[in-house]
Structure formats: C-alpha cells, structure tokens
Amino acid sequence: MIRSWLAAESACDPLLRPYRVRADRIMVGMNVFLLAVCLAIAPLRNTWGAVLAVGVPTLLMSRWLLRAHAGALVTRLFMASAFMVFTGLIIHQTGGDIEAHFSAFGLIGVLLYYRDWRTIVVATLVIYLHHLVLGYAQTLGAPVYVFDTSNFWTLFGLHVAYFLPFVGMMAYLSVWLRRDGYESQHVIALAQRIVQGNLLEDDAPLDNEANMPLVRAVRMMKSRLLDLLRVMPVAAAVIRIDTESIVSVNEAWVRTIGPLDDLHTRFGQSPIWADTDTWTSLMARMREASGKLLDKVEVLLKKADGTPFLCELSLILHEDVDPVMAILTIEDISLRRKTELTMQRLAYRDMLTDLPNRVSLQADLDRALADWRERQMPFALVMMDLDGFKPVNDTHGHDAGDEVLKVVGARLQRLNRPHDLAARLGGDEFVIVLHDCLGAAVAAEVAQRFLDALSRPIHIESTGLRVVIGASAGVAHVADEPRPSSDTLLKNADSALYQAKAQGKNRVQVFAAPAISQAD
C-alpha cells in the first residue's frame, strides 16, 4: 500500500512542480523569519551557540537547495524537516513550554505550502525524533529543554498519542489538497494549450479523471472546438509567431493545401508560398494594421503538389497569449475569380470575336472626350462595315460567316495600337477609336491600312474554302465637331461610312460637315 501511495505521489510531482517551487521560496523566507525569532530569543537563555550551530546551517542548506533543486522531492523533505528543526530550537530556547502548539503550527504550514503527505510524515518523524532523543537527553541532565517536566516517558507517550490524530488529519488533508492542485494544474495546462491553438495533441486520460469535473469540462470544450474546426469550410491554421511553426490545422486545410507533415518547420519558408517574401510582407502589414487584423488579402499560394491557386487570406494576431499566436484562414477563390473574369468578359467583350463590345466602346469614348475637354487630346473614330459579307452567309452558312468575323477581329487586334480600341458594334460593323490622332487625314491613312488587311483572302476551316471580302470605312475627327459628343461622333462616322458605300465601297470617306448657307 505504501508503495502505491508513493507511486501516486510521484506521478503527480511533475505537474505540481510550479506549486512546490513557489512553496520552496516561501519556506526559505519562513526559515529566515524563524532564524530571526531564534536570534531574538537567544539573549533570554543565552542560546547563541544553539542558534549558530543549528539555525544558521539549516537556513544556508535550505537556500542552496532552493537554487540547485527547486521543486524537487528532496528539497520539500528538507524544508519540512527544517521547519521542525526550527520548531525544536525554539522549544529548546523557551524551556519546553510550547512544544505541542508550535509543532502543530509547523505541520499546518507544511500542509498548506506543499500539499504532500510525504512532507507531513517526514516532518512528524523529525519532531518525534527530536523529542525522543533530546527529551531523553534532558532526563539525563543535558540542558536541552524539550519538556518542562522530568516525567519524560509519560509525557512523550501522551505527546505522541495527542499528536498522532492531528498528523493523520494533516496527511489526509494534504492528499485532498494535492488532488485539487493536480486538477487545477491540469486545467491550466489544457487551457493554455487550447489558447495557443494546440488542438492536435491528444492527452491521455488521467487515472482519476472521473473525479475531476473541471478537467472533463475543459476536454469537452476542446472537443467542441475540434468539431467546429472540422466543419469550417475554409482552411485554417494556428501559427506560433516566435518560431514560425504551425501548431494545428483543420481538415479543410488538408483538403485545400495538403497534409501538415508536408510543411516545413518555419512557416515563412514553407513551399505553399508562391513568393518567398509573402509571409514577411504579411507580418510587416500586420504590425501596422489596426486591431492586428488583415482581412481578405489576395495571395497566390501553391498546393502540396505544386499547383498554384489564388486565395483570400485573413490573419489575426493574438498578442495576449505567451507565446504570441496567429490564426490564419485561407479561402481558394480561383474558381470564383475565373467566374468573375468570365462575367466581366461577357459584360465588356464580344463573345464571337473577343473584341470589346458596345459597353467598352462607350466607356472608351467617354474617356477620350474627357481628355479632349481637359487636355485637348485629339482622337478620331473609324467606323467600318464589311463588303461582300452577306453572300458568305447566304452561300456557306452562318458558321462560315462567324469564322470570317473571328478572322476580321483578329486582324483588327493585330493592327491596332495598344492604346487604341477596336470594338464590334454588331453584325459585320466595327468601330476603332484612334487616341492621340492629330487630324482626320491621319485617321484616314490608318483606316486604309485596316481595309488593306481585311482585303486579303480568308481561309474558312470548316469548309476548306477561301473567300475574299472587303470593307468600307467612315472617319470622324473630334476637332471637326464644335460640340462633340459620343453620339454625334458615331453619327458622323456612320454618315461618312454611308457615303463610302454609296461611292462604290472598299474605300475610306472622311466626314465633312455640310456648308452653312447665309442669307444675302
């Protein structure tokens, strides 16, 4: 039975070490106080020799054990014995008048400080041996003053009988206090790991956990947090900032990026970063962010197999825990961004030719007009209509006509300058906005180059045929209109195009405002 008790106490020692280290410090302070009491009493019975021979070495030994073996069992046992040694010394100095009361006081201190029945037993043995050896020596004439009567054996027996129930109660209470302290330390350790995000570490159940409601409650909270992380749709990780290491991840992280084992120890050097400086940049932004929060930052990452993907990254820093931790969430937005780009293309691009559509044309015209009004930046419009396109549709079908329009769009894109805009209005009608165009004559030369390019034969892959089409163009320049607007310029270009068609097609016509007649 004694062996099992000792084993149970030894199992508790590592977790209760913080309690016992603090208790060691308190006991050394108590030894200093007791030595001061002994020094104060010494002049009453001239016990200087006993104080120097017993009290001073005991204090020095306790201080050395505190520095070298704080929290160790040998230190606790010595501190408990030292308390009793000082108790015996004070009993000796006072002539044996307060032995029982002062011994009880010492045991209560040992109980409260250490919560260890082994220290109670050792302290009791020390005080009993003190009374037995020195008390018997007193009956032989030694001036040690343990008992204030010469009837030694009777008084010693009464002292043991009186004190044993008290000692038993102290030992029993120390066991219960140790259990409370043990549970409290387990709760603190579990809570700290949870606060630091360490949810992956699986703690083995305690032998007596059924009687530890707080530990069970914390474990249940940890289980609920794991369930919450498990059902989170976005990848989440807890990062320890000082070591840049991942503490834990959820299942969405494993599905999105890969297993935790594939990640490097230092998170900033992990292969998930497409740019190796990304983590450093994020931490620099975090230091300047209000609330220590970065929300929905677009970052390019790589999966465990090296596949790049675009994500929205959110990062929140927790500086109120030691060590500082960060919670990182990653949402793969590759599909969403692809959908957005597709929707944007549908809104601003022609589906057949991939040229800008009417919406893009109107926005570009608005910008060009603003540059004209604010900075006198000239521009021109070239409106084009294909010649001979209808027979292609009628003879070879609409699929062949669509192929012709795609080739026309591609040729316009190749000839167009990067800062100009070639758009499809619809059918076989196209408009080119020529930015920074000094005059209508320059625009007409550019338009002629477009017509020359479109006059080359077009190979229709679906039928294997080659067709030749042409085009006519009308040009309108912003400087030729006193009050230019996008509608007016489009009408002017369309009017010039109509004239080109009327004059035999496959030509360029510059818009000229009709002359204004004046009355005589």
Of 455, 452, 417, 437, which is closest to residue 493 (Cα–Cα)? 437
Pairing between strand 293-302 and 429-435? unpaired
Q: How many residues does the chain have?
A: 520
Cα radius of gyration (the chain)? 47
pTM beyond 0.75, yes or no = no
Least Cα distance to 492 among 507, 472, 478 occurs for 478
The whole-number pLDDT of residue 509 equals 94
Cβ atoms of 234 and 251 closer than 8 Å: no
Give the pLDDT score at 86: 84
Give the pLDDT of residue 209: 56
Q: Which of 402, 290, 373, 298 is nearest to 340 (CA)?
A: 298
Separation between Cα atoms, residue 516 and residue 501, nearest integer Å:
25
Closest CA to 171 of 214, 89, 246, 115: 115
pLDDT tens-place values along the chain, 520 residues long: 667 766 666 666 676 777 778 888 888 888 898 899 889 888 887 889 888 999 999 999 999 999 999 888 888 889 888 887 887 788 777 776 555 455 566 666 676 667 677 787 888 788 777 777 777 776 776 766 666 566 767 767 776 776 676 666 666 666 655 666 555 665 556 666 665 556 555 555 555 555 566 666 666 666 665 566 666 778 888 788 888 877 777 778 888 887 765 444 578 878 888 888 888 888 888 888 877 888 888 888 888 788 888 888 888 887 777 778 888 888 888 888 887 777 777 788 888 998 999 999 999 999 999 999 999 999 999 999 999 898 888 888 888 899 999 999 999 988 888 899 999 998 999 999 999 999 999 999 999 999 999 999 998 887 788 888 999 999 999 988 888 999 999 999 999 999 999 998 899 999 987 655 444 3
CATH number of 349-510: 3.30.70.270
User: Domain residues of the chain, as ranges?
Assistant: 2-187, 233-337, 349-510
- Cα gap 139→156, rounded to integer Å: 12
pLDDT of residue 212: 60
State the Cα–Cα distance between residues 161 and 153, nearest whole angstrom. 12
Domain boundaries 233-337, corresponding CATH code? 3.30.450.20
513 and 480 Cβ atoms separated by less than 8 Å: yes
Query: Could you give the C-alpha distances from 267 to 224, 264, 280, 309, in angstroms and in order?
Result: 27, 6, 10, 18
Task: Report which of 486, 380, 490 is spatially closest to residue 442, judged by C-alpha positions.
Answer: 380
C-alpha dihedral over 25, 26, 27, 30, to 10 degrees?
130
pLDDT at position 33, please? 87
Task: Please enumerate, as own/partner, the contacts of 245-253 that have beta carbons within 8 Å and a separation of 24 or more.
Answer: 247/196, 247/197, 247/198, 247/200, 247/325, 248/197, 248/198, 248/199, 248/200, 253/330
- Residue 263 has what pLDDT? 47
How many Å from the N-terminal Cα to the C-terminal Cα in the chain? 135
Cβ atoms within 10 A of the Cβ of 152, count? 18
